[in-house]
A and B are shown apart, each in its own frame.
Chain A
Amino acid sequence: MNMNPKDLATTARNTWCPGCGNFSILSAMRAVLAELDSEGYPIENVVLVSGIGCHAKIVDYMNVNSFYSIHGRTMPAASAIKIANPDLLVICFSGDGDSLAEGLDHLIFAAKRNIDLTLILHDNRIYGLTTGQYTPTSPQGFKGKSTPTGTSEHPLNPLELMLVSGASYIARGYTHGISQLQQLFKEAILHKGFSFVDVLQVCVSYNNLYESYNKWTYTVHGNDAASFEEAQKIIRSWNYDRSEVPIPLGKFYQIEAPRFDQAFSGRRLNLSERDSKINDLLENFI
């Protein structure tokens, strides 16, 4: 019997603002996980890992194994879970403040290692839960509570960073396109290697970009996702700074590459094996 996405709900009361883009990510992910369950990827093999921020509440809203970690630290926790048990499908949820500011080093290293994880970046370009400060993807001049006269920094293009860091699957979705989100999430989860999905997730309370995104986003078609140069060109066509340019959505890059999680032995010694090896080893120190 196929799983109904509703079976994945919990009793937790949802505290996102009405109209929050996170609802789309939640419903797309539930649908994908239910679908995967019926396709030979049992739900008990899925582990969700989140950071801290509005995005992170998603793990409370899914009756699935989860590790609700701390701000910026999804990647190291998730990496060890995957290394501990390579049969698990480890899916991370993180925000732009979470992964691009507090935890940027971990993100770069996860990509560098091409570890088999999926990261869904809830990129609302604002700190929501702390009520409205600029983030690494806010445009220059953004007036937030910590930058009342406008930030003087240019934003970071996280996809460009992921491409040069070694991520082997890179895509962008938008919370107004649930079917596309489902398709990208599923591809990303099934991809063997580090998958990065940037989701333009609208924060209705502090950074409502629905109008702009509806006008400027488009889906790429017929691109060669195996080409680094082509991916780079698409990714660089919008740098998060200007709003009056087309914003590409879809899968930009996908290659196969060696993975960090393949480098570990799963052999476990029993107590007497350990004892005898310890004795042998101590012999070397006489």
Chain B
Amino acid sequence: MNDFSTLVGGIAGDGINEAGLTVARLYSRLGYHIYMYYDYPSLIRGGHNFSIVRASRERIAAHMDQIDVLIALNQETVEKHTSRLKDSSFVIYDADKVKLDGIKQKSCGLPITSILKEATALAVMKNTCIIGGYCKVVGIDWSVLEDVLKKHMPKLLELNMQVARQGYDQAAEFCHMDSRVDSFADKQAQELQPIITGNQAISLGLIKAGLLAYVAYPMTPSSGVLDFMALYAQDFGLKVIHPESEIAVMLMAQGFAYAGVKAAVGTSGGGFCLMTEGISLAGMAEMPVVVVMAQRTGPSTGLPTYTAQGDLHFVLNAGQGEFPRFIVTPGDAEEAYFWAGVALNLAWKFQVPAFILTDKIVSESQYSFDIDLAGDLEGERKEQADHSPLLWDGQGTYKRYRYMDTGVSPLAFPPRNGQAIKTDSYTHDEGGITSEDPQITREMSDKRQRKGQSLAEDLERYETVKVLGDEKSKTALLCWGSNKGVCMEAARKLGLRVIQVLVLSPFPEKRLKRSLHDVKRLLAVECNSTGQLARLAGFYGIEIKTQDRILKYDGRPFSVEDLLGELARALA
């Protein structure tokens, strides 16, 4: 099979995310590319969680509604997901907990609860047990499962192996699926790709580019970055702080920047609201800071664990006054890794706030990650000098806000003998002393705007707009962020062009218009209710009619079927 979707569902606390990852790792070892969507409500125990693990011979970054196998640890999973089953689908379930009534598809009930009881295993091991059965059903060799368990469940490995083997053997007696999994694993083990979330990719990209400090207050779906940074702080010499509020977070980042320590912060909409006064300070004081802003469904508390692309204009405009900013919105793990590093470099090169705008899907979905595909980081390194911040040459008296053609003043960090390094949230003169003089006010405003122009010029060497899919098609889908994956897949099926806008500020107007010059029909695909990128494009004279905006704003991402259905209607 070229494309295979498995849904594993149960209650929160069953370890459904981990179970999904185990399934993902099995397929990864067989040479498939992985995408995993994890759906969970905002609670700790109970409720319904599910993971959809998709394995494909193609690179993918979207889920399908229809599934090939349903793994049900409870009754609710069956009830909620029966509609996803195809005639050829298969259901594997805990026969001690689940009754299958009126399901015509092939199925296999395993006495999971009894097996665990007999083995005196922990309740959470039901995952391992049922995945053992699953492997037999779909035709994955025991040795593949054994390899995954040995690597990822070193704790109580023997017991896990025992219950998995029970599941595997008992399934053998009476059930198997008609269409079996193939192995494309002619690759050697060292070529296998890791499976990571967008949040983890962002963390690694920042670290690679020289991050030294990460400050955040936990907020879904950004917390994965904080957890990752904290876990690996020792390994990478990172200073990781979880302070009292997002207000403190944003000010701490700037204390670090003042002292020459490259720092990033992370949050979601509500926390970002608290950061805005500090964002404006970064604009005025010209402080480099990277903000990972992971969108979820709003307004206000909204749906804490679900997705949206509703904050584009908020991030574009956050903070009082006028100042340049960099905003990038990666669409998968490789882009997240590459652009996180770019964001850190640009923040320091131009002394501006830089935003990595994601959503729940990019931040928390699991992707096969190919570091070699992530971008020409070697090329980046060759231009290392170009990416270093502009540092003071030590001549004469230091002026923190010295006027330069590019608008970018040389940086110095305390202590510097005989110098005072002064930064200021007030309008200030070149030396960083407060001033209310009208000429200085105007000149400093011009200086900040010049930095924005320099940043825009520098960005011309990056692929700020990507043209994907059928580049000759006159019909194009316009997307940003996580919708890249689903748009590419729909475009592949229908022969459409995809235009992905990666950088939203400074807006890549020329590049976008070039990519659109022969497009006859442009459809915007977004996860918000108004078409936020479409509105932004409209500001630059790119009109996308309301009926050409394909919008989803129920907290859930587009499935491939969702988008194909919408496109069938729109293009009819």
Contacts and interface: CB of A to CB of B under 8 A. Distances in A.
Given A80-B256, A265-B237, A271-B381, A65 B415 contact: yes
Contacts of B212: 268
B153 to A, nearest CB: 13
A1 interface: no
B411 to A, nearest CB: 13
Interface in A84-103: 84-85, 87-88
B434 A60 contact: yes
B371 interface: yes
Interface string A41-53: 0101101010010
A65 B431 CA distance: 11
A69 B425 contact: yes
B259 A12 contact: no
B277 interface: yes
B375 interface: no
B418 interface: yes
Q: Which has the most chain B C-beta neighbours within 10 Å: A11, A67, A78?
A: A67
Nearest to B204: A278
Contact of A109 (B239, B243, B419, B422): B243
Given A67-B423, A105-B245, A278-B204, A84 B434 contact: no
A30 B557 CA distance: 60
Nearest to B384: A271
Given A60-B433, A64-B420, A286-B192, A45 B381 contact: no
Interface stretch (B5-13, B228-236, B468-476): B228-236
A85 B414 contact: yes
Interface in B196-250: 196, 200, 204, 207-208, 210, 212-213, 215, 232-237, 239, 241, 243-245, 247-249
Given A66-B420, A68-B424, A84-B260, A285 B196 contact: yes
Contact of B237 (A47, A60, A269): A269
B251 A68 contact: no
A158 B210 CA distance: 40
Nearest to B232: A281
A66 B204 contact: no
A267 to B, nearest CB: 4
A89 to B, nearest CB: 10
B237 A267 contact: yes
B251 A105 contact: no
Interface in A216-244: none
A42 B277 CA distance: 33
Nearest to B337: A278
Given A42-B415, A65-B415, A81-B258, A286 B422 contact: no
Given A45-B414, A274-B208, A80 B420 contact: no
A47 B414 contact: yes
Contacts of A109: 243-244, 248
B179 to A, nearest CB: 26
Contacts of A84: 213, 239, 255-256, 258-261
Contacts of A87: 415
Q: How large is the interface on A (under 10, 10 to 19, 20 to 34, 35 or more residues)?
A: 35 or more
B236 A274 contact: yes
B244 A106 contact: yes
Interface in B142-197: 151, 189, 192-196
Contacts of B424: 60, 66, 68
Contacts of A70: 251, 277-278, 281, 425
Nearest to A71: B277
Interface string B397-434: 00000000000000001111111111111101000111
B421 A69 contact: no
Contact of B434 (A12, A79, A108): A12
Interface in B433-474: 433-434
B254 interface: yes
Nearest to A11: B433
Contacts of A277: 235-236
Q: How large is the interface on B (under 10, 10 to 19, 20 to 34, 35 or more residues)?
A: 35 or more
A80 B254 contact: yes
A10 interface: yes
Nearest to B377: A275
Given A44-B417, A65-B414, A57 B434 contact: yes
Contacts of B255: 49, 67, 76-81, 83-84
Contacts of A52: 425
Nearest to A102: B247
A88 B415 contact: yes
A80 B415 contact: no
Contacts of B251: 69-70, 73, 76-77, 80
A12 B437 CA distance: 12
B361 interface: no
Interface string B354-368: 000000000000000
A208 interface: no
Contact of B259 (A59, A81, A265, A279): A81
B252 interface: yes
A108 B243 CA distance: 12
A69 B215 CA distance: 18
A77 B252 contact: yes
Given A65-B415, A265-B234, A83 B239 contact: yes
Q: Which has the most chain B C-beta neighbours within 10 Å: A75, A84, A105, A267?
A: A84
A268 B417 CA distance: 24
Interface in B342-376: 369, 371
B343 to A, nearest CB: 17
Nearest to B152: A284
Nearest to A49: B255
A259 B254 CA distance: 21
Interface string A188-202: 000000000000000
A14 B506 CA distance: 40
B415 A275 contact: no
A110 to B, nearest CB: 9
6 contacts: A45-B414, A66-B420, A80-B215, A80-B256, A84-B213, A269-B237
The 3 A-B residue pairs whose C-beta atoms are closest, nearest first, are A80-B255, A84-B259, A285-B194
Interface of B: 25, 28, 151, 189, 192-196, 200, 204, 207-208, 210, 212-213, 215, 232-237, 239, 241, 243-245, 247-249, 251-256, 258-261, 263, 277-278, 281, 285, 369, 371, 381, 413-426, 428, 432-434
Given A81-B255, A83-B241, 4 more contacts: A44-B414, A52-B425, A80-B215, A83-B255
